Amino acid sequence: MSIELRQVSKRFGSVSAVEDVSLTVADGELVALLGPSGGGKTTVLRMIAGLEVPTSGDLLVRGERVNDVPVQKRNIGFVFQSYALFKTMSVFDNIAFGLKIRKTPPAEIQTRVDELLKLFGLDGLGRRLPHQLSGGQRQRVAIARALAPRPSVLLLDEPFGAVDAKIRQELREWLVRLHRELHVTTIFVTHDQEEAMEVSNRIVIFSRGRLEQIGTPREVYEQPKNEFVARFIGVLNVLELTILNGAARLHELSFPAHGLPEGQTLRIGFRPYAVQISRNLQEHPYLAVIRHVYFLGVQLRLELETPSGLILRTRIVKDEFLRQGLEQGSSVSFQIREYRVLSTGANSLSPEVATVHSAANFAEGI
Amino acid sequence: MGYSIAYLSLVVLIPLAGLLIRVSAMSWADFVRVAFSDRALAAYRLTFGASFIAAAINAVLGTLLAWVLTRYRFPGRKILDALVDFPFALPTAVAGLTLANLFSQTGWLGQFLVPLGIHLAYTTGGIVLALTFVSLPFVVRTLQPVLEEFEVELEEAAATLGAGRWCTFRRVVFPALLPALMTGFALAFARAVGEYGSVLFISSNKPYVSEITPQVIMGWLDQFEYANAMAVAVVMLSASFAILITINVLERWASRFQR
């Protein structure tokens, strides 16, 4: 079922939680609402659910305005961060709750709940009470309960927040499988960019109540619209340059001026993978020392320090690192293969400026 | 551990044992004659009946009050919250006197209620009123912390599943409150059964009609019939004890969902 937000804002008293957000979620999509805490993503989710009413703007479901439709009538499944299982009811009764409210015949309830227990790997746990379950099981009960009345949308608030890292990984994969099987439109909130990248078809990035960017995981990673998105999704090196003698410079580093006037400042950003290093000091134009090595598994993250004291982060495959005989303290030469102009001028942090200038300014090499 | 048992024995068990020993000196026939006399039986009925009604009224109104105090923010909430403890602090005799005054034919409220046929002073209704007053804080104060901790998400979850407000209360909120509500009920009931001072003023204290058990006991004491007074006291004691145990068992059943 398609969902559309048109210029939706939400204020709590004088505090603005969500400002002018417009977005569309197509039928059957799996969308992540991503952002730092307090970014307004949970409020957006709660407005879609009907747990909050927008202060202004329209909320449309299948093209119909539903601002004033009460939560009970929206036919949504909502999974709370705390799971909010009914402590006084068994697993079976928890899952059956929505069906009972809808006056479903008992035989049908039995079939549906059994089916869900099976699908969620909860066979034989129907008689248990919530406090007798593990964290992962509780969460699955919460999702099963939300799905039992066959909602047209499944909304999950920080679904993997309350379980430990190992189970979190399993649950992510499991959610992707579940979505593939049931194909119900799913929107989930997370503050973990890795989780958003891994699980969703599309990511909606919020910060301070505003929508920063919507796109596929690849789009937001490779073509971030502004510095906030670029920094939030993955690691980013940011440099502030000044145009001097026809080039954008910072200490020994220099980049094309992009036609900007002398004295203008310019912020650029580049991913660690864009920084290429070599043991051969003549191979690349700049020099640096490996200050620190972070072991990440197959890959290593290196912290480089240039003679002028700039710190840059790069990534290298472990095999390559060993093949070149590198270690902490090694001197290397490096180049920055690609970078994005994040912003220009004095108001360099303003995202509006950033979007204008970053669209095409993708330079290859130096 | 040792200290608390010693303390408990000193304060509770030894007096109780003393009571039982004193009574055991009576013959069984004497005991039955005194403890189950018509007058005593009428007093038991009134005491436990009125206390039960008072505790039941508090279970409903106290829940409502606790709900309002925890869920709503309004000017004067703190004052109202403090006022709940008022019956704790007020000497119950004062409470009885005040209520009797208020509801007597010439009292503030009584002058309007009595013509309508509502007699609260010097009647069974008055006794219930006094007992409700003195036992109110028990229900409110046991429910308040439970309501404070109650996750709003549970109600929201029920709403997203299609449940209306009443249905949510009945199926989700109420079962979770039940254990605390029963504790509050038991405490209120126990308090009401033991109440003496306020009833003395608001009741007409007629034997067989509006005389509560403590008054029967006092009656025997006034006549220096200590053994008889104790016989009645033992019945009171056993009955209270049995009721508290029953409620405890029910409470345990109601809170089976907790760890």
Does residue B9 lie in a domain region? no
Q: Which domain holds residue B59?
A: 27-254
Q: Contact A76/B176, CB-based, under 8 Å?
A: no
The mean predicted confidence, pLDDT, of chain B is: 84
Is pLDDT at B226 greater than 50 in this prediction?
A: yes
pLDDT at A8 (0 to 100): 87
A74 with A181, same domain? yes
Tell me if B156 and A101 make a contact (CB, 8 A cut-off). no
- B162: Cβ contacts below 8 Å, ≥ 6 apart: A72, A73, A98, A101, A102, A149
Tell me what the pLDDT averaged over chain A comes to: 82
Domain of A86, CATH number, reads: 3.40.50.300
B158–A86 C-beta distance less than 8 A: yes
Same domain assignment for residues A139 and A269: no
- A87 — contact with chain B (CB < 8 Å)? yes
Same domain for A188 and A135: yes
* CB-nearest partner of B172 from A76, A78, A86: A86
Domain count, chain A: 2
pLDDT at A357 over 80: no
Q: Predicted ipTM?
A: 0.73
Out of A172, A194, A223, pick the residue that ends a domain.
A223
The closest of B74, B69, B191, B68 to B136, measured between CA atoms, is: B191
**Residue B258: its pLDDT value, please?**
67
Once rounded to an integer, what is the mean pLDDT over residues B134-158?
90
B interface with A, Cβ–Cβ below 8 Å: 151, 153-154, 156-164, 167, 171-172, 175-176, 256-259
Higher pLDDT, A241 or A25: A25
- pLDDT tens for A197-232 read 888 889 999 888 888 889 898 888 888 888 888 888
Q: Which amino acid is located at A311 in the chain?
A: I
Assess if residue B10 is contained within a domain. no
**The pLDDT of residue B138 is above 70:** yes
What is the pLDDT at residue B110?
75
Selected residue with higher pLDDT from A361 and A299: A299
User: Is pLDDT of B92 > 70?
Assistant: yes
| CA atoms B155, B159, B165, B166: torsion sign | negative
Domain count, chain B: 1
Q: What is the pLDDT of residue A349?
A: 42
B6 within domain boundaries: no
**Is there a single domain that holds both residue A31 and residue A106?**
yes
Of the residues A179, A198, A223, the one at which a domain ends: A223
Structural domain span for residue A249: 230-364
**Pairwise CB contact (< 8 Å): B160 & A76:** yes
The pLDDT score that the predictor gives to residue A162 is 66
Do both A263 and A213 map to the same domain? no
> Of the residues A174, A190, A223, which one is the last residue of a structural domain?
A223
pLDDT for residue B57:
93
Both A107 and A209 in one domain: the answer is yes
pLDDT at B59: 92
Contacts of A126 (CB under 8 A, 6+ apart): A90, A91, A92, A113, A114, A117
- Residues A267 and A183 reside in one and the same domain: no
Number of A–B residue contacts, CB under 8 Å: 67
Where residue B117 sits, what CATH number does that domain have? Answer: 1.10.3720.10
Q: What is the pLDDT of residues A330-352, one digit of tens each?
A: 888 888 888 888 777 654 444 33
**Tell me, what's the pLDDT at A158?**
87
Judge contact between A25 and A50, C-beta under 8 A: no
Contact A288, A341 (CB under 8 A): no
The three-state secondary structure class of A338 is strand
d(CA B197, CA B216): 14
Task: Please report whether residue B205 resides in a domain.
Answer: yes
The region of weakest confidence among A103-107, A127-131, A263-267 is A263-267
Evaluate whether A132 touches A55 at the Cβ level (below 8 Å): no
pLDDT score of B253 more than 70 = yes
CATH code, domain carrying A311: 2.40.50.140
Is the CB of residue A321 less than 8 Å away from at least one CB of chain B?
A: no
What's the confidence (pLDDT) of residue A348? Answer: 41
Task: Kindly state whether A218 is in contact with chain B, defined as any CB-CB distance less than 8 angstroms.
Answer: no
- Tell me the per-residue pLDDT of A296-315, one tens digit each, with 9 for 90 and over: 778 888 888 888 888 888 88
Inspect the interface and report whether the beta carbons of B162 and A146 lie closer than 8 Å: no
Query: Which residue, chain included where needed, has tokens 């036609």?
Result: A259
